[in-house]
C-alpha cells in the first residue's frame, strides 16, 4: 500500500518564493497546502494537522515589515504540536530569530538571502526527525522521491557555468549543484577557455554575451566558446537574455548544443529536468547503465573496489561484476584503460 504523503503548510505571499518552496516540498513527497496571508493560514491550521510548516515572517498587507508569521507559528505551537516549523524571512534580526525558536517553537529561522535549495532540502528530514508526531498521531511512513534520492546518491560530476551576471551565476550554480554536479564558475571567455583546457567537464552552461573589456556591449563571447566545447564533445546548455533566433538556430545546427533557455522565460523545474536528461543521455550513448556510469566515474577518480563499494553502498563483488561489464562494453581489458576512456568521455573529474 502506498504511504499517504505528509501534509505540509506553506505560508508565503511572494509568488516567486511560493514556486521555489512548493517545488522543493513537492519533490520531497509532501502534500503542500499554500496560504498567502495570515487569515488563510489560521483557517488551514484549524482544519488540518500538519507535520511541516514553512512560514514567511512578513505576509501580505500594507505593512511590509509585519510579523504575521509569528502569529502563524503561535497557532501551530498551540494547535499542532507535532508540526515542525521553519521561519523564513528577509529582514529578521538575531534577537527575533532566537525568539522564533525559543518562544514560538520554530525548528530554525532562515534568511532569504542565505537560502540554498540543497541546504533547505537536507533540512526537511532533520526538522521532521527533531519534531515527533503529537500524542495520538501516527507517524506515517514517508519516502523520498526518485528525483531527490537520485540527486543525493549519485557521485558528483563536473560542470562549468560561464555567466557574467552574479545573480544568474548564483542561481545556476545552485540548480546545477542540485542536479548532482560539482560546479566551477567563470565570468569571462578567457577564464572559461583556461578551465576547459585544465579540466574534464561533463556539462557546460554558458551565456551568449559575456563581460569583456574589449567589447563591453553586445559581444558574443559565449557563442565563440561553443567551438571549444564542441571539440571536447561536452553537452552544452545556453542560457541567454539577448540571443536572436538566427544565433540560436546556428548554435543547435552548427555546434549541436543540448538545450537553450531564455532568461525572460526561465523555469527552474524545466531546467532541472534538462540537467537530468544530460545525465541519462551520457549513459545511453555509451551503452552503459546508470550504475555502470557511477562505477566508471569513481574508477576514473582513482578509487579502488572497496572504496567504490562504500560510496555506492554495494558489495565489492557487485563492483567487480560492473567492471567486467564496463570492460566489455568499452572494449578495454584493464582498469587504467577504462579510467583513461572515462576521462576522455568526461565521466570522471580530475583530482
Mean pLDDT of 77-101: 84
- Looking at the predicted structure, is the pLDDT value of residue 245 above 50? yes
Give percent above pLDDT 90 in the chain. 28
Cβ-contact 199, 158 below 8 angstroms: yes
For the chain, the average pLDDT equals: 82
Of 219, 271, 202, 236, nearest to 23 by C-alpha is: 271
Backbone phi and psi for residue 277, each to the nearest 5 degrees, phi listed first: -65, -35
What's the rounded Cα separation, in Å, for the pair 238 and 74? 46
Count the residues in the chain.
351
User: 64 near 34, Cβ under 8 Å?
Assistant: no
All domains in the chain, ordered by first residue? 7-147 (3.40.50.2300), 154-285 (3.40.50.2300), 290-345 (1.10.10.10)
Q: Sorting pLDDT into bands at 50, 70 and 90, what band is 63?
A: low
Say whether pLDDT at 144 is over 70. no
- Comparing CA positions, the residue from 134, 77, 133 lying closest to residue 101 is 77
- What is the mean predicted confidence (pLDDT) over 331-339? 82
Among candidate residues 283, 292, 5, the one with its CA nearest the CA of residue 145: 5
What are the beta bridge partners of residue 33?
9
**Kind and range of the H or E run holding 161:** strand 157-162
- Better-predicted residue by pLDDT, 254 or 95: 254
> Has residue 139 got a pLDDT over 50?
no
- What confidence score (pLDDT) does residue 150 get? 36
How many CA atoms are closer than 13 Å to the CA of 341, on its beta-carbon side?
A: 17
Q: Give yes or no for a contact between 225 and 191, defined as CB atoms under 8 angstroms apart.
A: no
Condensed to tens digits (0 to 9), the pLDDT of residues 203-233 reads 999 998 886 545 555 667 888 889 888 888 8
Residue ranges in the chain assigned as alpha helix (H): 15-28, 38-47, 68-79, 94-102, 117-130, 146-153, 166-178, 189-198, 221-231, 245-255, 268-285, 290-300, 305-312, 316-330, 335-345
Confidence of residue 7 (pLDDT cuts 50, 70, 90): very high
Pairwise CA distance, residues 249 & 301, whole Å: 37
Let me know the angle formed at the C-alpha of 308 by 302 and 309, rounded to the nearest 5 degrees: 160
pLDDT band at 56 (very low <50, low <70, confident <90, very high): very high
| C-alpha cell, 330 | 568499452
Q: What is the mean pLDDT of residues 330-348?
A: 73
Q: What is the pLDDT, as a whole number, of residue 252?
A: 92
- Cell numbers representing residue 51 in the block: 507535520
Residue 151: pLDDT over 50: no
Residue 104 has pLDDT above 60, yes or no: yes
CA distance 42 to 121: 25
| Arithmetic mean of pLDDT, 71-87 | 93
How far is residue 234 CA from its own chain's centroid?
20
* Contacts for 236 with CB less than 8 Å, ≥ 6 apart: 203, 204, 205, 206, 226, 229, 230, 255, 257, 258
pLDDT interval class at 283 (50, 70, 90): low
Per-residue pLDDT tens for 287-330?
778 788 889 889 888 889 999 999 898 999 999 999 998 888 87
13/337: higher pLDDT: 13
In angstroms, the CA 31 to CA 44 distance is: 13
Which of residues 333 and 45 earns the better pLDDT score? 45
Per-residue pLDDT at 153 exceeds 70: no
Find, among 283, 278, 285, 284, the residue nearest to 295 by Cα: 283
**Distance (Å, rounded) from C-alpha 300 to C-alpha 350?**
8
Write the DSSP symbol of residue 107: S
Mean pLDDT confidence for 184-197: 89
Q: Assess whether pLDDT exceeds 50 at residue 344.
A: yes
Question: pLDDT at residue 143 above 60?
Answer: no
pLDDT value for 38: 93
Residue 349 has pLDDT above 60, yes or no: no
Q: How confident is the model at residue 236 (pLDDT cuts 50, 70, 90)?
A: very high
At 350 the pLDDT is 43
pLDDT at residue 204, as a whole number: 95
> Would you say the C-alpha torsion 127, 97, 137, 5 has a positive or negative sign?
negative
Give 49's pLDDT tier (boundaries 50, 70, 90).
Answer: very high
State the residue for C-alpha cell 563536473: 158
| Chain centroid, CA 201 distance in Å | 18
Mean pLDDT value across residues 75-96: 86
Amino acid at each position: 500500500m502506498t504511504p499517504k504523503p505528509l501534509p505540509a503548510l506553506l505560508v508565503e505571499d511572494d509568488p516567486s518564493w511560493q514556486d521555489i518552496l512548493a517545488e522543493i516540498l513537492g519533490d520531497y513527497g509532501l502534500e503542500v497546502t499554500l496560504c498567502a496571508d495570515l487569515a488563510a493560514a489560521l483557517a488551514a491550521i484549524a482544519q488540518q494537522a500538519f507535520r511541516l510548516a514553512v512560514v514567511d515572517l512578513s505576509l501580505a498587507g500594507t505593512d511590509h515589515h509585519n510579523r504575521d508569521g509569528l502569529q502563524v507559528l503561535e497557532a501551530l505551537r498551540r494547535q499542532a504540536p507535532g508540526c515542525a516549523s521553519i521561519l523564513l524571512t528577509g529582514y529578521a534580526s538575531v534577537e527575533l530569530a532566537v525568539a522564533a525558536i525559543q518562544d514560538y517553537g520554530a525548528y530554525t529561522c532562515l534568511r532569504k538571502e542565505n537560502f540554498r535549495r540543497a541546504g533547505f532540502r537536507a533540512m526537511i528530514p532533520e526538522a521532521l526527525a527533531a519534531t515527533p508526531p503529537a500524542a495520538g498521531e501516527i507517524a506515517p511512513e514517508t519516502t523520498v522521491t526518485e528525483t531527490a534520492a537520485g540527486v543525493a546518491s549519485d557521485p558528483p560530476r563536473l560542470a562549468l557555468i560561464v555567466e557574467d551576471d552574479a545573480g544568474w551565476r548564483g542561481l545556476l550554480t545552485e540548480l546545477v549543484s542540485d542536479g548532482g554536479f560539482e560546479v566551477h564558475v567563470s565570468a569571462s571567455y578567457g577564464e572559461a577557455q583556461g578551465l576547459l583546457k585544465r579540466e574534464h567537464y561533463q556539462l557546460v552552461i554558458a551565456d551568449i554575451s559575456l563581460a569583456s573589456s574589449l567589447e563591453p556591449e553586445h559581444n558574443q563571447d559565449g557563442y565563440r566558446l561553443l567551438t571549444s566545447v564542441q571539440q571536447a564533445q561536452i553537452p552544452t546548455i545556453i542560457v541567454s537574455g539577448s540571443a536572436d533566433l538566427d544565433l540560436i538556430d546556428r548554435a543547435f545546427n552548427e555546434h549541436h548544443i543540448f538545450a537553450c533557455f531564455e532568461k525572460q522565460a526561465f523555469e527552474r523545474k524545466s531546467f532541472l529536468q534538462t540537467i537530468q536528461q544530460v545525465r541519462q543521455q551520457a549513459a545511453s550513448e555509451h551503452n552503459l547503465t546508470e550504475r555502470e556510469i557511477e562505477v566508471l566515474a569513481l574508477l576514473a577518480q582513482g578509487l579502488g573496489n572497496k572504496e567504490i563499494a562504500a560510496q555506492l553502498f554495494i558489495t565489492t563483488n557487485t563492483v567487480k561484476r560492473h567492471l567486467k561489464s564496463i570492460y566489455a562494453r568499452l572494449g578495454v581489458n584493464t582498469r587504467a584503460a577504462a579510467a583513461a576512456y572515462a576521462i576522455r568521455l568526461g565521466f570522471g573529474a580530475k583530482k
